[in-house]
Amino acid sequence: MTLVQIDNYGPWTVTPEPRREMDLQTLQSRLFADVAQFMGPRDAYVFSTRYDNMIAVTNGLDGAAHAALQESVGNRYPVSVSLGTGVAERPIDALESANRLLQTEGSAQDEGRTEVLAGDYLTETDPSDLQIAHFDVVDVTGKYTDRLNEFDTFLNVERAYGSLTRYLRDTHGALSFFVGGDNVVAVCPDLPERAFVDAVAHVAADADIELQVGVGRGASAHEAGFAAKHALEACRDDGTNVELSGAPVLGD
Ligand SMILES: Nc1nc2c(ncn2[C@@H]2O[C@H](COP(=O)(O)OP(=O)(O)OP(=O)(O)O)[C@@H](O)[C@H]2O)c(=O)[nH]1
């Protein structure tokens, strides 16, 4: 995992006086788009989380690749980014160690702490390294989008997301991210099918929303995530709630 943290961003947003909100939104979403465009061709994933901090799945990327991202952001934006990296069996533990390295170097709002690059990299990868689950709401269009106003639809999807993401984090140390529409991508440790059956049952009981999930494995986030998307298609075709892909879909 890589933590991407904008350096000293809070003070910048109010210096010399508060900046227009839509300008900040533009900067944040463009920075996310640029980081995503950097990660995508390298088969990594990045999630926007709070935008001033983003979480990436960077199996296979070395220190030079991370430094190139920092240089490119520094050259093109009025802000710089620090990057902490960590490697562990459970995504939460990898993120914890990545995070701790930046926190040890100084505060997110310390003007003397800029462009830190610290941590371990997983450069030797194996097709069984990563497990990613792609969840979505069963028939969000028929149950919500075509029936409720957009805000109330959003509240329903957010309730499912909140329930799922807290459950997976607490039970398995998995990190789940809302990625738009009704979709949640979960970066998981090595979990059996039963764990996903239980997660879907938990959200049904806790939030009264029916989910389906495709699960994939791979050497990179793209490989695992793409296999998960194929497995989710199998849920749609077969009317099932949980599908695990077979071998990772290589070369896609
Ligand atoms: N990020 C992301 N969003 C998607 C993806 N597929 C669909 N979406 C979003 O999800 C919304 C709903 O699409 P679906 O999930 O196909 O619709 P549905 O009515 O729930 O249909 P089923 O999933 O077949 O039950 C779309 O409008 C998109 O915004 C995906 O692979 N990734």
CATH of the domain at 47: 3.30.70.1230
Model confidence at 251, pLDDT cuts 50, 70, 90, reads very low
Q: What average pLDDT does the chain have?
A: 95
CATH code of the domain in which 182 resides: 3.30.70.270
d(CA 170, CA 149): 32
Distance 136 CA to ligand 1 centre (A): 7
**Which residues line the pocket of ligand 1, CB cutoff 6 A?**
136-141, 179-183, 229, 236
Whether residues 89 and 158 fall in one domain? no
Residue 250 included in any domain: no
Strand-pair category, 53-57 with 242-244: unpaired
The domain of 59 spans 2-119
- The closest residue, in CA terms, to atom 18 on ligand 1 is 139
Structure confidence by residue, pLDDT tens digits, 72-122: 999 999 999 999 999 999 999 999 999 999 999 889 998 888 999 999 999
Model confidence at 252, pLDDT cuts 50, 70, 90, reads very low
The C-alpha angle with vertex 241 and arms to 201 and 196, in degrees rounded to 5, equals 55
Beta-bridge partners for 218:
130
pLDDT at 133 exceeding the cut of 70? yes
Whether residues 169 and 231 fall in one domain? yes
Atom of ligand 1 nearest to the CA of 140: 20
H or E element, residue 83: strand 81-85
- The closest residue, in CA terms, to atom 31 on ligand 1 is 229
**What pTM was estimated for this model as a whole?**
0.95
Whether residues 93 and 146 fall in one domain? no
- The closest residue, in CA terms, to atom 5 on ligand 1 is 183
- ipTM > 0.90, yes or no: yes
- DSSP string over 147-193: TS-HHHHHHHHHHHHHHHHHHHHHHH--EEEEEETTEEEEEESS--H
Distance 181 CA to ligand 1 centre (A): 6
Strand-pair category, 183-188 with 242-244: unpaired
Residue 222 included in any domain: yes
Q: Are 175 and 186 in contact (CB under 8 A)?
A: yes
